Chains A and B, each alone.
Chain A
Amino acid sequence: MNALGYAAAAWVFLVALYGLVTSRDLVRVVLCLSVAQSSTYILLATIGFRAHATAPIFDSQASTSARTVDPVVQALMLTDVVVGATVTALLLAFVVQIHKHVPSDDPHDLRELRG
């Protein structure tokens, strides 16, 4: 399971970056970045995974010795999701604004800052 998880994370990361640099559309750039970000969720979930374990929720009744997956990586993932959502929202706002100036959505047409 673990090897598969790591391989999937690496694959999604690389595919997303390939998709990013070959984009012909700004929205796709943002989405590819989002996909690249989600590769880290797969990685973190894989790291915290334990076979036959439950969610790390402890209440006063449950025994703290129950076998659970690693709660730390889940906290990291939650933080990561928040960060990813913020960045995606901000980037999409930029794209909308850029679209007002440049009729094309092709990133290669944005040459305002060359040289």
Chain B
Amino acid sequence: MEGLAFVVPLAGAAVLLAIGWAVPRWVNDSIALATGIATAALCADLLHRTGDNTVVTWFGGWRPTHGPPIGVDFAVDRFGAGLATLVAVLACASLVFVWRYFATIHALFHALFLVFVAGMVGFCLSGDLFNLFVFFELMGVAAFALTAYEVEEEGPLQGALNFAVTNSVGAIAILFGTGMLYGRTGALNLAQIGASLAVDRHGTDGLVVVALVLVIGGYLVKAAAVPFHFWLPDAHAVAPSPVCALFSGAMVSMGVYAVARVFWTVFAPVLTRSGSLAGVRPVLVAFGVAGVVVGAAMCTVQRHLKRLLAFSTVSHVGIVLVGVGVLNAHGLAGAAVYLVGHGLVKASLFLCAGVLLHRLGTVWEPELHGRGRSLPVLGVVMAVGALVLAGLPPAGTFTGRALLDEAVAGAGYRWLPPLFAVASAVTAGALLRVVARTFLGVGPRPAADEFDLPTDDEDNEGETQGARDRVPATMLAPPIALLGLSFAVGAAPSWVAGAGRAAARFVDIQAYRAAVLHAAGDTVRVPVPHLRVAAAALVPATLTVLGAILVGALPLSQDRLPNRLKVVGRNVAHRALRPLRLLHSGSVLDDVTWLLVGLAAFGVAGAVLWR
């Protein structure tokens, strides 16, 4: 039954491949959307049924009777089911959007899209380390192909190449680490590997450290932690907008989810035994913080709206990774709420970018100037979306960050909440700048080289052509609905409490192990954090939102600023960030080099801190 949520989109894809070429476009659209809705319903049902438990399914009835499990399982808890539901909901929104978006579309697109969704849903539900790799590759291959869907254009091809090569290197690292763990424990089930490692006489030795670096490092590539992130802006800038919505809203989150899941089930028991659990914390937090800073800095100097949104994703996923990295239930709960809130609003913003492409034929800031005046509704959605990125109460990003702030401060990182606030203000401000220029025509028309280092004008003009005189309702409704949902998840107190219980359950490895290996539905043993958002959290949130407006207004009011300030501002944008921009060379070789540097640094940190 649990497997259905994964099987249905695959079956839908198979049907589309079989009959898609012979039927009219609306039939393909309908089949794809119906499949998406069915998947969402199944995932939501799964989320409802799991409650605070872990629901385990052994495929083919290969449940462990005596000894370690040989079968393959889905082990579903609230986080897994919740993430799968997020994937399916975003997929539905994108499939509605697609209805009128593409100039020409083949059933192949729908089929790839559904395979992509199936890969992600399976990934969320799997309880098996090797199957995580298989689903990782399944969603990966579909995502590479979707990125290069406009196969006659240069940008999408190069973005897809960077994306595919870096993620494949990450996947090979994951498989290598998985093989090493199997060699040590003879198990592939997450719970069983964790149990075997914990009682193994070698403890946390070199093999465990290398396996951890390879597996977690591989998932960090998907999570776009700096310096593994170089593929992300390349892929997000060029993929079709409805695909980007899923990339930024859900696929990147898969990496963070896998880091948390694999770390807690496989590595936490053995690290706890050898007393080196705390040594992992600064490393994961460092990866997260690097993402927060680099993403925000690069976000400010982007001219291409989708690339700007992509770098903001790097920054926000960094915040989520820090929440996972503090290694306690409180941080995990905050990370989960933030992840969902951010995923919804980011998907909404990418769909908005798609509307701009559809209507104006460009998402290039200098060309957009003032041309959005005829699209007031879109402007409002994007402006509110930008403020939600900054953590506008009561959106999910606000609630999530309030919880995260408490968690990281409680873990001793008192300097992190202000950093989160600044980074959120900067990314949201950069987006507000584009929104104000586009929809209000504020300020002078920006020169193409305002930020130096001119990038070629990349506007996927080929991907959409349609009724340019008006925006179809099927393209405006999905981003509005997603934006509304991002408020809904933040405003419901039951969500916060539920995330708290789910996080406590997530880190309770004994309970997970009992549920998977001994079919014992267990009660939560670790203390459940009593989570609620304090009214005091409104203060930093308000400051962040005001900061975002200020950051957005600064480049627009250049003429009114004193000359000295203008020079300083320009110097920061041009000179200080230039080295960082040059690092983002767009060359796949540099991307892989940085990936290897990151893995090596991870390994060195591990060798020093965890032995």
Chain A contacts to B: CB under 8 angstroms: 9, 13, 17, 20-23, 26, 29, 33, 36-37, 39-40, 43-44, 46-47, 72-73, 76, 79-80, 83, 86-87, 90-91, 94-95, 97-98, 101-102, 107-108, 110-115
Contact = CB atoms under 8 A, between A and B. Distances in A.
Contacts of B169: 17, 20, 33, 36
Contact of A87 (B141, B158, B162, B302): B141
B469 interface: no
Interface stretch (B43-51, B197-205, B427-435, B579-587): B579-587
Residue with the greatest number of chain A CB neighbours at <10 A, chosen from B134, B172, B237, B581 = B172
Interface in B107-162: 130, 134, 137, 140-141, 144-145, 148, 151-152, 154-155, 157-162
B183 interface: yes
B499 to A, nearest CB: 34
Interface in B281-318: 301-302
Given A43-B176, A72-B70, 9 more contacts: A17-B592, A20-B592, A79-B130, A87-B137, A95-B161, A97-B151, A108-B589, A111-B587, A114-B586
A40 B172 CA distance: 7
A73 B586 CA distance: 37
Nearest to A14: B596
B175 A40 contact: yes
A79 B179 CA distance: 13
A83 B171 CA distance: 10
B406 interface: no
The 9 closest A-B pairs by CB, nearest first: A113-B586, A114-B586, A47-B183, A101-B154, A113-B234, A43-B179, A83-B137, A115-B455, A112-B158
A83 B175 CA distance: 11
Contacts of A108: 587, 589
Interface in B16-45: none
A13 B148 contact: no
A111 B586 contact: yes
A102 B596 CA distance: 27
11 contacts: A21-B592, A26-B161, A72-B188, A91-B161, A94-B161, A94-B164, A97-B148, A108-B587, A114-B586, A115-B581, A115-B584
Contacts of A39: 172, 176
A64 to B, nearest CB: 14
Contacts of B175: 40, 80
Nearest to A114: B586
B559 to A, nearest CB: 26
A41 B585 CA distance: 33
Given A29-B589, A83-B137, A110 B179 contact: no
Contacts of A115: 301-302, 453, 455, 581-582, 584, 586
A33 B453 CA distance: 31
A108 B458 CA distance: 19
A113 B592 contact: no
Contacts of B154: 98, 101-102, 112
Contacts of B589: 20-23, 29, 107-108
Contacts of A21: 589, 592-593, 596
Nearest to B234: A113
B58 interface: no
Contacts of A72: 70, 182, 188
A94 to B, nearest CB: 5
B458 A90 contact: no
Contacts of B144: 87, 90, 94
B588 interface: yes
B247 to A, nearest CB: 15
